[in-house]
Structure 1
Amino acid sequence: MKVPRGLTGTRVDRTVFDHQVRLVLSSKGDSGHGVEAELILETRFLFRDSSGQWHDLEPGTGVALAPVLGLFGQSVAAVDVQGLGTLTIDFHDGAGLRIDPDPQFESWHLVGTGIHAVSVGPGGEEAWEA
């Protein structure tokens, strides 16, 4: 699977909370073709707010997810995937998130245009390409 580096430079246009956490990210490319993507988090994840404080969050927990609202309008500075699918995203304001593969459930996936779709299933995925 490809590391979704195409998310670098995208902006968080929407945050959605239910039994998942969804971030809608977009950017306009030089040729008019950009990225329109949705990152879906389905299991526990770590979120670092812009002040540097870490929050251990879980989708489906309502107001406990409020720190993630600070991502609205923020731009992605860096994206990396390590090991079997640990996703790390850093934002320009200092915020960040990290989600590890879950042994039993799909932990995260990415869909949209201008990027390669990614799905990290139970136990994670091997053979990540930069």
Structure 2
Amino acid sequence: MNESAFEEHEDRWILGLRDLAVTKISIDFQLTLLLGSEAWAILECPFRLGQGSAGSDNLQEVLDPGRQDVAAALALFGAKVLSAVAFKAGSLRLVFDSGLHLNCRADPSFEAWQVVGPGGWRFVSMPGGNLAVWSAGTESTARGGEG
């Protein structure tokens, strides 16, 4: 994976995490997924973990890292990322080859999630629904949108 794997669109960023497996899961007051050996997805607010179609509400469970209520996320260990999208409105969607999908919306008061990649890339869901993006040698740029 390299910096060119991150691609900006009008309302979202495609995160170059495809084919990276979840190699480590850490739980404290957040849920951290190590993807391969170079990227992290860190979830700090409640999120949905579901099975099947990423857009459906069927079979979705709300997990809360702040209460360490994330046992269902252990099923992600070893799963490979099929799709990773950071929406400029602050939402994150990760789809895995196991059929599981993770959706985290922006929080009105807190940073809901962040994804850290190689080369200094960082995507952060800011309180209230903007996305802040850092890359190597650049300052953050907050971007709004719908997601």
The TM-score with structure 1 as length reference comes to: 0.80
> Unmatched 5+ residue regions in structure 2?
1-6, 53-57, 131-142
> What is the DSSP-based 3-state SS (H/G/I as helix, E as strand, rest coil) of the residue aligned with 2:72?
helix
Q: Does the alignment pair 1:48 with 2:50?
A: yes
Q: CA offset at residue 10 of structure 1?
A: 0.8
**Corresponding position: 1:123 with 2:133:** no
Structure 1 unaligned blocks of 5 or more: 27-34
Aligned residue for 1:59? 65
Distance 1:44 1:72 in 2: 19
Change (3 A) 1:83 1:110: closer
Maintained 8 Å contact 2:107/2:127: yes
Decide whether the 8 Å contact of 1:49 with 1:70 is kept in 2.
no
Question: Offset at 1:113?
Answer: 1.4
RMSD: 2.2
Shift of 1:83: 5.0
Q: CA deviation at 1:122?
A: 0.3
Q: 1:58, CA displacement in angstroms?
A: 0.6
Give % identity.
Answer: 32
Instruction: Pick 1 or 2: higher relative contact order, CA cutoff 8 A, min separation 6.
Output: 1
Give the letter aligned to residue 101 of structure 1. Answer: A
Any residues of structure 2 matched to 1:23-102 within 5 Å, and which? 23-26=33-36, 36-49=38-51, 53-62=59-68, 64-82=69-87, 84-102=89-107
- Show structure 1 runs of 4+ deviating over 6 A: none
Q: 1:100: how far off?
A: 0.4
TM-score (norm 2): 0.71
